[in-house]
């Protein structure tokens, strides 16, 4: 069962960007250093009935925000995406899911770095999978977390 604090974070991920809310992105699992996000096919079909490339991009891109909230001090730092590559391997014909996880030592290292420098980059490779567990897209992203201005 999700704690109250987690529920707030999920609501933030799902509702803080209006166009992402329109896509229907959902956080389907969320715990310390781990998140699972789902993009429904229904609101995101393209002209040939499969999932639109931009909605798949959003699923991968939002994984960066999700793992940030699941792992770091979000009251004093915030994430941005610096660069993202998505490779489309096969058409996405069902709801799509991404799982993202960060090991405790990496979290610790990055948290120390951002406290020292005010910002730090991290990169991740992600797979966007269909309901059959097939990887339809490969994502490589570089995100940066920064100290909030006070």
Binding site for a copy of itself (CB under 8 A): 12, 16-20, 22-23, 43-48, 52-55, 57-58, 61, 78, 80-88
Shortest Å distance, C-beta 97 to a copy of itself: 17
124-to-36, 81, 129 alpha-carbon distances in Å: 15, 11, 16
Shortest Å distance, C-beta 134 to a copy of itself: 17
Cα 115 to the chain's mean position, in Å? 23
- CB closer to a copy of itself out of 30 and 52: 52
| Residue position matching structure tokens 């999978």 | 129
Shortest Å distance, C-beta 8 to a copy of itself: 14
Count the Cβ atoms, other than its own, within 10 Å of residue 4. 6
Burial profile 127-149: b = 16 or more Cβ within 10 angstroms, e = fewer: bbbbeeeeebbebebebbbeeee
Shortest Å distance, C-beta 45 to a copy of itself: 7
Could you tell me whether strands 77-88 and 135-147 are parallel, antiparallel, or unpaired per DSSP bridges? Answer: antiparallel
H-helix or E-strand containing 79?
strand 77-88
- CB closer to a copy of itself out of 16 and 112: 16
- CB closer to a copy of itself out of 20 and 128: 20
- CB closer to a copy of itself out of 41 and 110: 41
- CB closer to a copy of itself out of 31 and 82: 82
Shortest Å distance, C-beta 109 to a copy of itself: 24
């Amino acid at each position: 069962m999700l704690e109250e604090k987690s529920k707030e974070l999920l609501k933030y991920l799902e509702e803080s960007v209006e166009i992402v809310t329109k896509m229907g992105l959902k956080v389907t699992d969320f715990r310390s250093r781990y998140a699972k996000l789902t993009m429904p096919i229904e609101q995101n079909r393209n002209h040939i009935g499969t999932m639109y490339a931009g909605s798949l991009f959003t699923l991968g891109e939002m994984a960066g925000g999700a793992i940030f909230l699941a792992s770091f001090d979000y009251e004093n730092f915030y994430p941005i995406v610096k660069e993202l590559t998505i490779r489309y391997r096969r058409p996405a014909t069902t709801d799509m899911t991404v799982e993202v996880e960060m090991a405790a030592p990496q979290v610790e290292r990055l948290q120390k770095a951002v406290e020292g420098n005010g910002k730090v980059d991290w990169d991740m490779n992600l797979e966007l999978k269909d309901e059959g567990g097939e990887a339809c897209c490969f994502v490589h992203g570089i995100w940066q977390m920064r100290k909030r201005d006070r």
